[in-house]
Amino acid sequence: MSDNTTPALPTAQDIEAKLRRAPYHEWLGLKVASVGDGEIELTATWREEWVVNPDKRYTHGGILAALVDLAADWALVSKTGRGVPTIDLRVDYHRAAFPGDLRVKGKVIRFGAQVSSAEAHVYDADGKLVASGRGVYSTAPAPQAAKP
């Protein structure tokens, strides 16, 4: 007999446990604020090491690009149950991100059997948009491990 119920979405705690297994994600101080069907909201705890210009004290664009990629990628987790490889990524910078925690919202735009797209928006501590972007990700089924 088949079960026609939809599988339960992973919880914020489930995703955060998977996400924070990576040392880089841990270093970014990532926390999952919320997760929904094809959506995620993350927070990143600001670090002095993010500063690219000691005089102006704004955050390096690479940190913002990483946050865009992570939120878009992990928005797909509610569909795939796993992180997915990035194929292409575009990031737009809107204003400097000065010291303070950042909030990132990711959302699936198109979910496909092989390739999907998702977008993300990064906000500073005052709620101002500092960066946004869109990525393309491989959502093909994970390869099966070879049997001995």
Q: What is the DSSP letter of 50?
A: G
pTM, rounded to two decimals: 0.89
Q: What is the dihedral of CA 77, 111, 38, 126, to 10 degrees?
A: 100
pLDDT higher than threshold 50 for residue 2: no
Q: For 23-143, where are the alpha helices, taking DSSP H only?
A: 23-27, 61-75, 77-80
Residue 84: what residue type? Answer: V
How far does the chain reach from its first CA to its final CA, in angstroms? 33
- Split at pLDDT 50, 70, 90, the class of 1 is very low
What pLDDT is attached to residue 145?
67
Give the percent of the chain with pLDDT over 90: 75
Question: Taking the CB of residue 124, how many other CB atoms lie within 10 A of it?
Answer: 21
Q: Which domains does the chain have, with CATH numbers?
A: 12-138 (3.10.129.10)
What pLDDT is attached to residue 142?
75
Question: Distance (Å, rounded) from C-alpha 132 to C-alpha 14?
Answer: 25
